[in-house]
């Protein structure tokens, strides 16, 4: 961290500031310049509140040199994190596909889709039970019943399940019932929820917020990790831009950027990123090509009559075709899939 001081700051005030910083267990290096003097702060500055320093008398500007996230930072953890979900490895060169319907709608529907995606090579089953819908009048999910149906589908297929949590009150239930807990884009900065999830050891699939910067995304991962849970999977699912043709804009460059900055696995959700089923195929391939550790794809047996996200859902046939092509691409790229 570099602190730039105002011109003509009295020496006494500079020494007071240095003393204050040193009391935080950090080291300082004071450099007197012709116009501006600066204080270099050395040590673990991730716990220092930048605004607190900025608010001090005679401080003109504060610049971070180090990222504010530590546990999620590759600089402090060079090796890729590999998360084991019932023997399925996520991260570190393994490519994993999680797929299933946007929402669990009935016993029959989740069974049909689960069996189909398993046959095509998907190893993890997704399905929403609690749905974060923009309209309170839209289908809100089958909630507890949906969770039970997902568990039945897991039993029938052997596939681990991933589903979205919205309330911190349900953490205990989800820890017991599901294999990966999903935090949706809308809850990426629900800090109470993140803190509760940090107290568990459950793998957490953290989706990037609709308008979150990469740093904000990683700070949300840091919340979970700061609580003691380092099993975090990052998911790029598109961000809001001025473009309206697609539901969101898939920030494909976020994948290599996140992998450079962090050791956590990164997956891509091309379904919510685009909102259009025909775009899921090319963007899944793009995700694999830029180094994603996997995909989350929505598949529905009857997209035209889906209760949620039909336009972006692949039919089982389209999903099967995509999976076959991804296998060819994986071979060319020397990816384990």
Binding site for ligand PEP (CB under 6 A): 102, 128, 132, 164, 184-186, 207, 237, 269, 272
- Expressed in angstroms, the distance from the first to the final Cα of the chain is 42
Please spell the DSSP secondary structure of 40-86, one letter per residue: EEES-GGGS-HHHHHTSTTEEEEE-SS-S--TTBGGG--SPP-EEET
Q: Which does 207 bind (CB under 5 to 8 A by kind): ligand PEP, Mn ion, none?
A: ligand PEP
Q: Does 164 bind Mn ion (CB under 5 A)?
A: no
Q: Within 10 Å of residue 15's Cβ, how many Cβ atoms? A: 11
Residue 237: which of ligand PEP, Mn ion, none does it interact with, CB under 5 to 8 A by kind? ligand PEP
Q: Does 102 sit near Mn ion (CB under 5 A)?
A: yes
184 binding partner (options ligand PEP, Mn ion, none; Cβ < 5 to 8 Å by kind): ligand PEP
Q: How far is the CB of 286 from Mn ion (least distance, A)?
A: 20
Q: Cα(86)–Cα(163) distance, rounded to whole angstroms?
A: 16
Q: Least CB distance from residue 103 to Mn ion, whole Å?
A: 7
CB-based contact 224:197 (threshold 8 Å):
yes
Nearer to ligand PEP, 21 or 306 (CB): 306
Tell me the site size for Mn ion, rule CB under 5 A.
2
Q: Contact 322/278 with Cβ under 8 angstroms?
A: no
Tell me the closest approach of the beta carbon of residue 212 to ligand PEP, in angstroms: 11
Would you say 222 or 269 has its CB closer to ligand PEP?
269
CA distance 75 to 146: 41
Q: Count of residues for the chain?
A: 337
Q: Which residue is nearest to ligand PEP (CB)?
A: 184
User: For ligand PEP, which is the closer residue by CB, 76 or 139?
Assistant: 139
What residue 218 binds from Mn ion, ligand PEP, none (CB within 5 to 8 A, per partner kind)? none
Choices 35-43, 98-106, 117-125, 319-327; region in contact with Mn ion by CB under 5 A: 98-106
Between 19 and 192, name the residue whose CB sits nearer to ligand PEP: 192
Q: Pick from Mn ion, ligand PEP, none: which does 132 bind, CB < 5 to 8 A by kind?
A: ligand PEP
How far is 189 from 83, CA to CA, in rounded Å?
23
Binding status of residue 196 toward Mn ion by CB under 5 A = no
Residue placing its CB nearer to ligand PEP in the complex, 165 or 264: 165
What angle is formed at CA 68 by the lines to CA 29 and CA 11, rounded to 5 degrees?
25
Instruction: Compute the least distance from the CB of residue 294 to ligand PEP, in Å.
Output: 14
Q: Dmax over Cα atoms in the chain, in whole Å?
A: 76
* Cβ 26 to ligand PEP shortest distance, Å: 38
Residues 6+ apart with CB under 8 A from 101: 109, 110, 113, 126, 127, 128, 298, 299, 300, 306, 313
Please identify, using beta-carbon distances, which residue of 128 and 160 lies nearer to ligand PEP: 128
b or e along 238-248 (b: 16 or more beta carbons within 10 Å of the residue's beta carbon)? Answer: bbeeeeeebbb
Q: Does residue number 299 form part of the binding site for Mn ion (CB under 5 A)?
A: no
**Angle at alpha carbon of residue 262, lines to 261 and 266, rounded to 5°:** 115
Binding interface with Mn ion (CB under 5 A): 102, 309
């Amino acid at each position: 961290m570099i602190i730039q001081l105002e011109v003509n700051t009295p020496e006494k005030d500079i020494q007071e500031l240095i003393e204050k910083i040193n009391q935080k267990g950090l080291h300082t290096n004071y450099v007197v310049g012709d116009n501006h003097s600066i204080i270099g702060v050395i040590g673990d500055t991730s716990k220092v509140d930048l605004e607190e320093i900025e608010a001090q008398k005679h401080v003109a500007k504060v610049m971070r040199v180090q990222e504010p996230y530590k546990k999620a930072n590759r600089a402090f953890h060079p090796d890729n994190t590999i998360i084991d979900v019932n023997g399925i490895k996520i991260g570190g060169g393994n490519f994993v596909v999680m797929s299933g319907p946007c929402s669990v709608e009935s016993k029959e529907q989740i069974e049909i889709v689960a069996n189909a995606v398993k046959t095509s090579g998907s190893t993890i089953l997704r399905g929403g039970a609690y749905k974060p819908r923009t309209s309170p009048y839209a289908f809100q999910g089958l909630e507890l019943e949906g969770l039970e149906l997902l568990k039945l589908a897991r039993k029938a297929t052997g596939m681990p399940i991933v589903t979205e949590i919205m309330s911190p009150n349900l953490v205990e239930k989800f820890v017991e019932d599901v294999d990966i807990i999903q935090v949706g884009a809308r809850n990426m900065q629900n800090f109470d929820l993140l803190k509760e999830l940090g107290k568990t050891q459950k793998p957490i699939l953290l989706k990037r917020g609709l308008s979150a910067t990469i740093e904000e995304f990683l700070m949300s991962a840091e919340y979970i990790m700061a609580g003691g849970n380092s099993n975090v999977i990052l998911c790029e699912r598109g961000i809001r831009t001025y473009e309206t043709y697609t539901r969101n804009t898939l920030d494909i460059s976020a994948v290599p950027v996140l992998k450079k900055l962090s050791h956590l696995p990164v997956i891509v959700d091309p379904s919510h990123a685009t909102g259009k089923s025909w775009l899921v195929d090319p963007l899944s391939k793009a995700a694999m090509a830029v180094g994603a550790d996997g995909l989350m794809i929505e598949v529905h047996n009857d997209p035209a009559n889906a209760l949620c996200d039909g336009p972006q859902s692949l039919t089982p046939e389209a999903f099967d075709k995509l999976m076959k092509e991804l296998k060819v691409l994986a071979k060319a790229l020397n990816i384990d899939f």
